[in-house]
Chains A and B, each alone.
Chain A
Amino acid sequence: MHPDEPSAADSPFEVADEVDEVALAAVMRHVPLGAGVLAGAAVALLVLGYLLIYLLVFLPRGTVG
């Protein structure tokens, strides 16, 4: 891109669309729940893996200290 060429960011129309506040409010009602479900599922799988390895592999291998 030539340095003198105007950037699309100069135009307000290219930078931000009109925000539909009603639609935004509807989305924002669900976003925290979706993020929570996604992160919760990921962490739950991680903890489940930890517990399975701890109970089925680590403990049966005997005490150590």
Chain B
Amino acid sequence: MSERQPEMHERRILGTELLWSFGVGVLIAATLSIIVFTALTMGINPPSNVERIDPKALHLSGEFAEHNLGTSVAADGSVTARIIATQFMFVPRCIALPHGRPVTLRFAAPDVIHGILITGTNVNTMVVPGFVAQVHTQFTRSGDLLMPCHEYCGLGHSEMWATVQVLPEGAFQPDRDGRVSCAQR
């Protein structure tokens, strides 16, 4: 057998590897394109908000004072829910939000790191003391959704959960102050 045989094998293997590298490159480019496309056209991207807040004074005044918690509808119709995550509960325990309408969720924590997710949706964020965690979303179905704390925050962590009540547009009626509370059932 000629001495060039191994060289031929190597060339063939190199050709296959180059072809594979090209294929993997195409796949990575396609995956990144899907992510960029959905981010630009559908507004789907990881929640990102760097906004500082004093965790020691949350309850005293300002946005996260007790009277301001829960869901409110501004004059321009924008819906914002403000929630405090604290050991071992969410305040308020039930959050009413509309179906099929853009909403903003804002969270703050006075004590330790918490995390939230809303089951059946893409809402998922950490709640770090000293920062406001903000998520924009739009609910695609109505009903009661569970919102547990998903970051271990102490012995009562497993008891820390709230309910997100997603109401059909007709049932989502703000009061005179623009506040919306969960429907009593």
Contacts and interface: CB of A to CB of B under 8 A. Distances in A.
- Kindly state the interface size class of chain B when it binds its partner: 20 to 34
A41 to B, nearest CB: 12
A38 to B, nearest CB: 11
Interface residues of A, number: 25
A61 B122 contact: yes
Interface string B1-35: 10001000100110110011001100100010010
A39 B5 CA distance: 26
B146 interface: no
A61 B34 contact: no
A64 B16 CA distance: 41
Contact of A63 (B12, B20, B23, B43): B43
A21 B138 contact: no
Interface of A: 21-22, 24-25, 28-29, 31-33, 35-36, 39-40, 43, 47, 50, 54, 58-65
23 contacts: A21-B5, A29-B12, A32-B12, A32-B16, A35-B16, A36-B20, A43-B27, A47-B31, A59-B44, A60-B140, A61-B120, A62-B122, A63-B42, A63-B136, A64-B45, A64-B123, A64-B124, A64-B135, A64-B137, A65-B43, A65-B47, A65-B136, A65-B137
